[in-house]
Amino acid sequence: MIRIAPEGRLFIAIAWTILVVLGLLHWWWIAALWLPVAVWTIVFFRDPVREGPRGEDLIIAPADGVVVSVIPVDEPAFIGSTATRVSIFMNVVNVHVNRYPASGRLRYRRYSKGAFGHAMAEKASTTNEQCSIGIETSRGRLLVRQIAGSVARRIVTDHPEGTEVRQGERMGMIRFGSRVDLFAPRSIDVLVKEGDKTKAGLTVVARWSNA
């Protein structure tokens, strides 16, 4: 059985109710056109169990998608210095449930309203609507930023500041296709490069250098 994120239940119910009504009305050609949309709602909101590598020395991907950049950037809000930013772009068929890259306590949470520009653009990390989550881990600080895109209009972040979270645990999700940035100290050993595909809770994107 496919596990579904709770945020998707209403959308799936509406999509499949419309399909049933079209069938009852014998509007077969319209139903045939609508069927891919109904199936897509299940694909988009699926929430598979992710049991991958775990450990204090590992930093796990927070999102499914493709790595679009790995660059040094200033991150004064939580890291407090120059950081390595790994940006992961999610398309409309990726799993959109985001997961914590490491265990620790949430020390920072900021939601910022902004634009809904193309999420792959460099400026999206600062100008688009977003939610930033800072995690104090046993090895150092990490920041995860959920970024809305031109289609995404709803960012869901599950836990308030002060919560103890576990590596691989659900962090939230973004509807409907966007980007997640992971910020870490420059001293980490990055294990992915631009063009690599990631899966939240499974792909090891970096290791702490003092491991």
Rounded CA gap, 203 and 211, in Å?
A: 18
The gap from C-alpha 37 to its chain's centroid, in whole angstroms, comes to 22
Q: Is 109 exposed, middle or buried (0-12, 13-18, 19+ CB in 10 A)?
A: middle
| CB neighbour burial string for 36-54, b if at least 16 within 10 angstroms, e if fewer | eebebbeebbbbeebebee
69 beta partners: 87
Q: Which of 132, 138, 178, 187 is catalytic?
A: 178
Integer CA distances (angstroms), 61 to 16, 37, 51, in order: 32, 28, 13
Is 178 among the residues known to form the active site?
yes
Q: Which residues are catalytic?
A: 178
